[in-house]
Amino acid sequence: MKKNTEPEFINSPLNNPMPNYSVYRMGKAESVLAWLVAFLLGGLTGLVFYGDLFKADGEKTIATYISNIVVFVIVGILAAKFLVPMYVQSKLEQQKNKIKSQFCDMLESLTSSFSSGSNVIKAFESAANDLRMQYSENDFIIREMDEILAGVAQNISIEEMLKNFGDRSGNEDISSFADIFEICYRKGSDMQSAIYRTHSVITEKIAISDEIETKLTSNKMQHNVMSLMPIALVAMLRATNDSFAESFTSPAGVVVNTIAIGIFIGAYKYGLKIVNIKG
């Protein structure tokens, strides 16, 4: 995975740093913990397949202990470089889903506000108050609504604030809403109808995505279990069968083992492509 060089924060029209939702940066503690866990898991897995080499007459030698340390460190580092980006990508997807869901709630609150006869500014103020009953001050949508209202108070157009939000969101639905809002606001179109339709479309897309995700959950679980089974099986056989363990430390065993791991990694990546269907 290529390193994401985008900034974590982008200045709003008020020059306040606001989240760039296309980026997820781990904190120091989270980063250290993620790397440590991945390193330990990788190191232990490496010992399952390449542990206890260079034995002499079935007894461990100094070379055996050295090789165990080397295998643990090398495989641990490789695992960290492979697993940590996967973890970051998972957190990024969670972040994007979170802002999408919260934005949908914002549209629902706006629709209710316009239904009561509020003008645009009053509708956003009322929606912000409604959202505070659902979310905390640290939630994404509360920060965004506060920034939009602060911009309006500083004579910055609400369209410009929404466009900045859409650009930072990395979500085409939010960007599209900002464009629709700008057109409707300038031309004096039916804002309530536009927001209601946008809310209906996004809600339907989320429902379809959730349905697809639900149907794929069992397949993803099966994929994860099948990915762990070879490691667990080899570990169990090495612990309970001495002759099997000895065969792994022979030159032929190392070669066959390496080929099998290569096939396993290829099958794992191919399986990810099958189960990772975007709704």
Q: Domain spans of the chain?
A: 24-275
| Interatomic CA distance for residues 215 and 208, integer angstroms | 11
pLDDT at res. 212: 78
In whole angstroms, give the CA distance from residue 101 to residue 141: 9
> What is the SS3 assignment for 10?
strand
Mean pLDDT of the chain: 86
> Which residue do the tokens 């309530």 mark?
192
Distance between CA 36 and CA 236 in Å, rounded?
24
Query: What pLDDT sits at residue 3?
Result: 54
- At 121 the three-state DSSP class reads helix
Which residues in the chain show pLDDT less than 50?
1-2, 279
Dihedral sign for Cα atoms in the order 165, 166, 167, 168: positive
pLDDT given for residue 141 in this prediction:
94
> What pLDDT was estimated at residue 112?
85
Supply the pTM of this predicted model: 0.82
Q: What is the pLDDT of residue 1?
A: 46
- The H or E element that residue 18 is part of is strand 17-19
The pLDDT value given to residue 18: 94
